[in-house]
Amino acid sequence: MTIQVQLYDTATLLGLYRELEAPSSYFRDLCFGSVVTFDDEYIDFEKVSEKRKLAPLVVPTVQGRPIYEEASTLTRVKAAYLKPKDVVSPSRTIKRRPGENLFGPNTQTPGQRYNAIIGDILRQHREAIDRREEWMAARAIIDGQLTLEGVDYPTRVVDFQRAANHTVTLTGTNAWNNGSFAGSVLNDLNTWINRVRTAKFGGPVTRVTVGSAVLEYMLKDADILKQLDTQTRGTNANLNTGIRDGDYVEYIGNLGPNVQLWVNSDYYELPNGTTEKFLDDGDIVLTGPNVMGVRAFGAIMDANANFQAIPVFPKMWTQDDPSATFVMSQSAPMTIPVNPNQTLKATVLE
């Protein structure tokens, strides 16, 4: 039987890539709603500093007083680069694929398996690239910086200059899970919400996202429970205190009229096979709509892509000896929180 091996062009591969379902993207969706491309391997972003001045008082007969001033800070970072590559070897098109009939005739021809394998490879590439973007978004929001490192990548730290007091660690009797904790979870939250609101380039907090172990201690807090008491006037909290649905990302309810509470227990796999959570079990992160996060993409360093700045550039090619077909996807992403002071991370459990 002749196997019809076909090399698909980039437009066809991109069409398939876009049809594939993306993995969880909680932090990307939460804070990074804009996409910007740069026809360079470097990404530049500029922040304009504005004041909250009062118009000066004068008598009508004197000259007007100037108040206009504009200062800006330009930051340049080199985009990370991703290029997962896999081979469609001839032997993979001959063997039965998972899901095919074990005891009857083969349900797929080698040519059909070839196409299915290409689809599987592109799916895994999309999941890996999207998950790396989600990791970058999470680290930018949670830590206020990115530490980029890899086997073939020198370690670089991209610091978004978040205020130092927007990273908090509670220890001793201040930790929410300490047996002698005598503080108030609600007071801690209100302190941090106010800190974010009054920070330079800060603003109102509209969401509190907690690690998987934190919710238990929040729901034990006397002040939080008081907010849930329907007989208490002046409260707006409405939280699910019963059985949860068990998803990796769960909406728990409202802590107030405009502040939502979510639990995030999503995880990713490291090269050595171990797993890590995007948000540590004992951490919480506060966010608001003024983060103005940007998903930026640098140029694809490939002549076949004409060095365009596109989110993903898939390509295929063949090798004669040994015979093989390769599928590779390239991307140069960077997640940038333009206003990092609209975020705050607190480690609340010891």
Q: Determine the structural domain holding residue 249 and report its residue range.
A: 10-49+75-347
Residue 35 counted as domain residue: yes
The reported pLDDT for the residue numbered 102 is 40
pLDDT (tens, 9 = 90+) of the chain, 350 residues, equals 445 556 666 667 666 666 655 667 899 999 998 888 887 777 776 655 556 566 666 556 566 556 455 544 556 777 778 999 998 866 555 454 455 544 445 566 667 777 778 888 888 888 889 999 999 999 999 999 988 887 777 888 888 889 999 999 999 999 999 999 989 999 999 999 999 999 988 999 999 999 999 999 998 888 888 877 655 565 667 777 777 777 889 998 888 888 999 999 999 888 888 999 999 999 999 999 999 999 988 888 888 888 888 888 888 888 887 778 889 999 989 899 989 999 999 999 99
**Of 100, 16, 2, nearest in space to 329 by CA:** 16
Peptide bond into 311 cis (omega under 30): no
Residue 41 counted as domain residue: yes
pTM of the model: 0.82
Q: How many helices (H) and strands (E) does the chain have?
A: 7, 19
DSSP structural state of residue 75: E
Residue 69 counted as domain residue: no
The enclosing domain of 315 has a CATH number of: 3.15.30.10
Phi and psi of 293, rounded to 5°? Answer: -70, 145
Residue 122 counted as domain residue: yes
Residue 55 counted as domain residue: no
Would you say 28 and 295 are in contact if contact means Cβ atoms under 8 Å apart?
Answer: yes
Residue 235 counted as domain residue: yes
The reported pLDDT for the residue numbered 224 is 84
The reported pLDDT for the residue numbered 247 is 86
Number of domains in the chain: 1
**DSSP codes, 289-338:** GGG-EEEEE-----GGGTT---S-EEEEEEETTTTEEEEEEEB-EEEEES
Q: Which residue has the tokens 């603003």?
A: 203
User: Is residue 225 helix, strand or coil?
Assistant: helix
Residue 59 counted as domain residue: no
Residue 61 counted as domain residue: no
The reported pLDDT for the residue numbered 49 is 54
